[in-house]
Chains A and B, each alone.
Chain A
Amino acid sequence: MRSPLSAPIARDAAIALVIVAVLLAMPLVAPKGLVFVVGTLALHIVFGLSWNLMFGQTGLVSFGHASFFAIGGYFYALVARSFPDLHPLLGFAGAGAFGVVLAIVIGLIALRRSLGVYFAILTLALSQIVYLFLSSFTPLGREDGFTGIRRPVLDMGLFEIDLARGDNYYLFIVLFSTLLCAVVWWVRHSQTGRALRAIQQDPERAAFLGINVAGNRLLAFAIASGVTAVAGALYGPWLQLLTPDVAHWTLSARPILYSLLGGVSSFWGPVVGAAGFAILEYGTRTLHGFSEIIIGSILLAVVLLFPGGILGGLDALRRRSAAPARTAKETVR
């Protein structure tokens, strides 16, 4: 028996399958430049989804999400250079673990008293510190960036996959990102996710149901940071270069824009938002100087016309057209 309270796993898995199939087929049909954009998009989708796990699901506003993306990236690059024999999957997992631990330490201090705009400002300050650190710390390449990050060879026991060959790393990114998105989906729809949603709606009320509000907020912050750190780790070998710009506040604004554009209250919101953003950027890439203006105006128009983002707007339209039928059914019952 399916309850209306059950998670929409069949529907979402089907949607994900179609998207992944399309992405995996990209290199067969699309030019190299577009494949690069799409690979980056896959990581940005993870970036946006993990941010919205904090915002849309839990009600935490972070202005410094990019710092965890950057920390994961530099962590992996440093580990891969220092321990060339380490299995790359361990390196990626290590970056995630490092992000989680760091988020817990920061969260224990920052989330204690400061919420709302204070937490936002604290995370913004944190991202500035990370940015300054990366720009001035010599072993990490300072302003020139961390160069020569290799795409590793995956030792799978019976055989090896050289991610440096052909489109292998692209395919790897698509699959790994899918896994990370699945993690976010799972947290969101789990019992913990429902508690997080309750906290987002009314933390005081949630506490009076026996929910540990501070602990769950910390958990959401840690998971989001860990997931985005892994995405950052994957980003290094994709570009084969990391500059301090990955920690810049303008990058921290990205997941916010993705979520607002796509819709914060749906799982798919940031996916739609990131894709829409990428399409706009790709479509206007030759219009030097105008690109920002066009993207900015479209963003503004969407947010003003549909406060719930693209998916929120579609949902409202669907509801409006379904409304008369539904009332009729309700009265019969």
Chain B
Amino acid sequence: MSGAGTPTVPLLEARRVVKDYPSVKVLKDVDLSVAEGDTLAVIGPNGAGKTTLFKVLSGEVFADSGSVLFRGADVTRMPEWKRVRAGFGRSFQVARVFKDLSAAANVLVAVEAAFRNMPPGPRKLLACDPARAALERVDEALDEVGLSARSRVEAKLLSHGDKKRLELAMSLVLRPTILLLDEPTAGMSPADRKSSVDLIAAVKTRHGMTVVLTEHDMGVVFDLASHVAVLHHGEMIATGSPAEVRENPLVRKIYLGSGAGHA
């Protein structure tokens, strides 16, 4: 915590990020700043470039120009797996899990990736058994997202909402400093949506993470976000607290008038 007036380095920052695809200019000079502990919601109509921004932030694609800074260090060209090791976690708009593996095996892969420096003991090593601490972490994570009863089910047989939960469990065991969630409640029933919002809020406080998410559902946004950024045709047109953004006349005109949500 710093006193008022002392400038602190944002946890994650995008500076004048440009990303083009052959036929479209997707991101045009996008600036973004996320302070430690924030929950930032990036909102905007379909095709605004939210997912593309997430890809640039997480390293799935690199920006054409501009830079991405993590704790003030330039990570613009750092490959995604190194960013993950540095503290990034990410979920996908359409949940991606290892479909032929059981839910527990999915989480185990994540735990072992995070525990790289914690091999099992020599006897266990020969038998190839996962370390006991790793198995405990798997159970804990599945429990945390409410999937304990489904731990042996192959991931491809899980419901849409459960896949999203499984993905969250996989991200959580990495103990990320910053978690990027692309539409965490897309396609969920209102009940599922409510429980997901509660879950995200709970794990955020428990693990003290910083969260960046995109969302179409304004209810979810105003429940979770401490800050909101509005992306429109690849341009960041407004940023601020939920209340500020809600009152922003430009946002009201462009976004809320488009019928994409309600405030």
A86 at the interface (CB under 8 A from B): no
Whether the Cβ atoms of B149 and A333 lie closer than 8 Å is: yes
Minimal beta-carbon separation of B140 from chain A (angstroms): 14
Whether the Cβ atoms of A7 and B127 lie closer than 8 Å is: yes
Instruction: Tell me the bound Cα distance from A271 to B108 in angstroms.
Output: 28
Instruction: Tell me the bound Cα distance from A193 to B109 in angstroms.
Output: 10
Instruction: Tell me the bound Cα distance from A186 to B241 in angstroms.
Output: 54
Instruction: Tell me the bound Cα distance from A45 to B99 in angstroms.
Output: 29
Minimal beta-carbon separation of B174 from chain A (angstroms): 7
Proximity string of chain B (96-115) to chain A, C-beta cutoff 8 Å, 1 when within and 0 when not: 11111110110011101110
B249 at the interface (CB under 8 A from A): no
User: Which of A7, A213, A333 is the one whose CB lies under 8 Å from B129?
Assistant: A7
Whether the Cβ atoms of B128 and A190 lie closer than 8 Å is: yes
Q: Known: A194-B109, A209-B170. Is A201-B99 also a contact (CB below 8 A)?
A: yes
A217: chain B residues at CB < 8 Å are: none
Whether the Cβ atoms of B130 and A3 lie closer than 8 Å is: yes
B138 at the interface (CB under 8 A from A): yes
Closest A residue to B58 by beta carbon equals A208
A202 at the interface (CB under 8 A from B): yes
Instruction: Tell me the bound Cα distance from A202 to B130 in angstroms.
Output: 21
Whether the Cβ atoms of A191 and B112 lie closer than 8 Å is: yes
B80 at the interface (CB under 8 A from A): yes
B192 at the interface (CB under 8 A from A): no
Minimal beta-carbon separation of B128 from chain A (angstroms): 4
Instruction: Tell me the bound Cα distance from A65 to B100 in angstroms.
Output: 26
A206: chain B residues at CB < 8 Å are: 109, 113
B112: chain A residues at CB < 8 Å are: 191, 194-195
Whether the Cβ atoms of A191 and B84 lie closer than 8 Å is: no
Minimal beta-carbon separation of B150 from chain A (angstroms): 10
Whether the Cβ atoms of B127 and A9 lie closer than 8 Å is: yes
User: Which of A5, A202, A204 is the one whose CB lies under 8 Å from B60?
Assistant: A204
Whether the Cβ atoms of A191 and B81 lie closer than 8 Å is: no
Proximity string of chain A (233-275) to chain B, C-beta cutoff 8 Å, 1 when within and 0 when not: 0000000000000000000000000000000010000000000
Whether the Cβ atoms of B113 and A210 lie closer than 8 Å is: yes
A213: chain B residues at CB < 8 Å are: 81
Minimal beta-carbon separation of B116 from chain A (angstroms): 8
Minimal beta-carbon separation of A319 from chain B (angstroms): 11
Minimal beta-carbon separation of B108 from chain A (angstroms): 6
User: Which of B90, B101, B114, B129 is the one whose CB lies under 8 Å from A208?
Assistant: B90
Q: Which of A160-208 contact B (CB under 8 A)?
A: 186, 189-191, 193-195, 197-198, 201-202, 204-208
Whether the Cβ atoms of A204 and B96 lie closer than 8 Å is: yes
Minimal beta-carbon separation of A181 from chain B (angstroms): 14
Closest B residue to A210 by beta carbon equals B84
Interface residues of A, count at CB 8 A: 29
Minimal beta-carbon separation of A91 from chain B (angstroms): 27
Instruction: Tell me the bound Cα distance from A3 to B135 in angstroms.
Output: 8
B85 at the interface (CB under 8 A from A): yes
B170: chain A residues at CB < 8 Å are: 209
B72 at the interface (CB under 8 A from A): no
Q: Known: A207-B79, A210-B174. Is A195-B109 also a contact (CB below 8 A)?
A: yes
B128: chain A residues at CB < 8 Å are: 6-7, 9, 186, 189-191, 193
Most buried by A among B99, B114, B128: B128
Instruction: Tell me the bound Cα distance from A191 to B125 in angstroms.
Output: 9
A211 at the interface (CB under 8 A from B): yes
Minimal beta-carbon separation of A208 from chain B (angstroms): 5
Whether the Cβ atoms of B130 and A209 lie closer than 8 Å is: no
Whether the Cβ atoms of B129 and A6 lie closer than 8 Å is: yes
A157: chain B residues at CB < 8 Å are: none
User: Which of A5, A204, A209 is the one whose CB lies under 8 Å from B105?
Assistant: A5
Closest B residue to A215 by beta carbon equals B81
Whether the Cβ atoms of A209 and B79 lie closer than 8 Å is: no
Instruction: Tell me the bound Cα distance from A6 to B124 in angstroms.
Output: 10
Q: Which of B64-97 contact A (CB under 8 A)?
A: 79-81, 84-85, 90, 92, 96-97
Minimal beta-carbon separation of B124 from chain A (angstroms): 9
Minimal beta-carbon separation of B67 from chain A (angstroms): 21
Instruction: Tell me the bound Cα distance from A124 to B26 in angstroms.
Output: 40
Closest A residue to B120 by beta carbon equals A191
Given contacts A4-B102, A190-B128, A191-B120, 5 further A-B contacts (CB under 8 A): A3-B129, A4-B104, A6-B129, A201-B99, A207-B84
Interface residues in chain A, defined as those with a beta carbon under 8 Å from any beta carbon in chain B: 3-7, 9, 186, 189-191, 193-195, 197-198, 201-202, 204-213, 265, 333
Q: List 14 A-B contacts (CB under 8 A).
A: A5-B105, A6-B127, A7-B128, A7-B129, A186-B128, A191-B130, A201-B99, A201-B100, A209-B113, A209-B114, A209-B174, A210-B116, A210-B174, A333-B149
Closest 3 pairs between A and B when the two form their complex, measured CB to CB: A210-B84, A189-B128, A201-B98
Interface residues in chain B, defined as those with a beta carbon under 8 Å from any beta carbon in chain A: 58, 60, 79-81, 84-85, 90, 92, 96-102, 104-105, 108-110, 112-114, 116, 119-120, 125-130, 135, 138, 149, 152, 170, 174
